[in-house]
A = this chain, B = another copy of it.
């Protein structure tokens, strides 16, 4: 086969192969590699990233696209194919607008900035990191200008992670979330604290893994096409739909850290394992703009699947009615004297806190809103990097009523900015909102509702396979939402779920 059609698939396939190799270098570095090899691994990733960019923006790819467009007409399936080619062309066009010089500087800065950020966080000294963050913001502003935008420069950065989303859309969404969530937080805070000590008893790690993986498999995560490894910061990574790996971090004296992270990553994994096999190596398999191998349609839609299984299912009351006895049997010594209500309240405890990744469901989005407001103002040049600690403190006081004690528990807590990722935080909240919308629509189907009631999660997963997963990157988040739920982005189901939960927690 040397038809023009296959030439395009071949180039995309080659690109995808290199990106998969980069994924493997990353997975290995975080789960298997001897620590001493880190520096050389960095060089390997840099070289392969350069080669991937070379393929993505190279003449062979441009020729393949041109020939493909010449030959696409009214053949069956040509609408989908035309879209694949045009999407690829648009992504390459955007990637091509960013000057090579800027890409190289950003890559070099990232390595240095992550080191310095880690040091600054350890020493609780924002000033150490300030200069590099200033340069990072400048580079991202230049990238935003190069990519181009209509209303706000931040829009150019958001689209790299969430196509179709803008700052204006986010601001509307955030206004509704603030209005809905703040009263719920007030209600929850007025109540006595649940017994968190229960979660700090002794939970042997291998038993945690066994229980968590058993549930993940019931959700539909296929271990024959996946595996679980341990790491410091849990993540999911895929190489093809036949090889989708998850990772977790387990602590013997903190049960939820292991369980919920596994179900979160399994949600990501179920998405990747459910992508249509026809998107395995050709069209729609790579995120050219971000140079990631295979994946869902956006960061937000991906997060919708992980949050759905972690929170909508895994933190629901019915879930623990069904599975708590099994959990007790896994940990008879630590849970024998604890009833299901006490346990359920503990894993749903609402308590405003400083650290985003430890936040409960009600306060989580304020951690995101705060960061997005800061990012947009930084990119617009409305605030200066040196003022960030003060701005952070002020917003934490406003939204969560907390006084930030230090930069380590404030502006220095997340890795994203040191990695040059500005514009990705919104996708965490978008994931919460979309996950609740999809969950609500799925429950309208009697088999799904019955399954959730009986502990059979496969009808839910099959519904998600059909409406979300199988499409891979061939549909936008908005198209998927409209098709699956009948409407665009809408926080109502999310707020309704959390309102119900707060009522139940009484």
Q: Is the CB of A34 within 8 A of B280?
A: no
Q: Is the CB of A47 within 8 A of B239?
A: no
Total copies of the chain: 2
Given A24-B24, A24-B25, A43-B13, CB of A51 within 8 Å of CB of B18: yes
Does A64 sit at the interface, judged by CB under 8 A? Answer: no
Q: Is the CB of A239 within 8 A of B18?
A: no
Given A37-B240, A47-B14, CB of A21 within 8 Å of CB of B21: yes
Q: Is the CB of B281 within 8 A of A36?
A: no
Main secondary structure of the interface of A (DSSP, over half): helix
Docked complex: A2-27 residues within 8 A CB-CB of B: 13-14, 17-18, 20-22, 24-25
Does A48 sit at the interface, judged by CB under 8 A? Answer: yes
Does A342 sit at the interface, judged by CB under 8 A? Answer: no
Given A40-B240, A40-B243, CB of A48 within 8 Å of CB of B21: yes
Q: Is the CB of A227 within 8 A of B18?
A: no
Q: Is the CB of A243 within 8 A of B43?
A: no
Q: Could you tell me the distance in whole angstroms from the C-beta of A222 to the nearest C-beta in chain B?
A: 9
Does A384 sit at the interface, judged by CB under 8 A? Answer: no
Give the chain B neighbours of A21 by CB distance below 8 A: 21-22, 24-25, 44, 48
Given A51-B51, A243-B37, CB of A24 within 8 Å of CB of B28: yes
Q: Is the CB of A47 within 8 A of B17?
A: yes
Give the chain B neighbours of A171 by CB distance below 8 A: none
Q: Could you tell me the distance in whole angstroms from the C-beta of A324 to the nearest C-beta in chain B?
A: 32
A360 to B371 Cα, complex, angstroms: 67
Q: Is the CB of A17 within 8 A of B243?
A: no
Give the chain B neighbours of A40 by CB distance below 8 A: 20, 239-240, 242-243, 280-281
Q: List 21 A-B contacts (CB under 8 A).
A: A13-B43, A14-B47, A17-B46, A18-B47, A20-B40, A20-B44, A21-B22, A21-B25, A21-B48, A24-B24, A28-B28, A34-B226, A36-B224, A36-B225, A36-B242, A36-B243, A37-B243, A40-B242, A40-B280, A41-B239, A44-B239
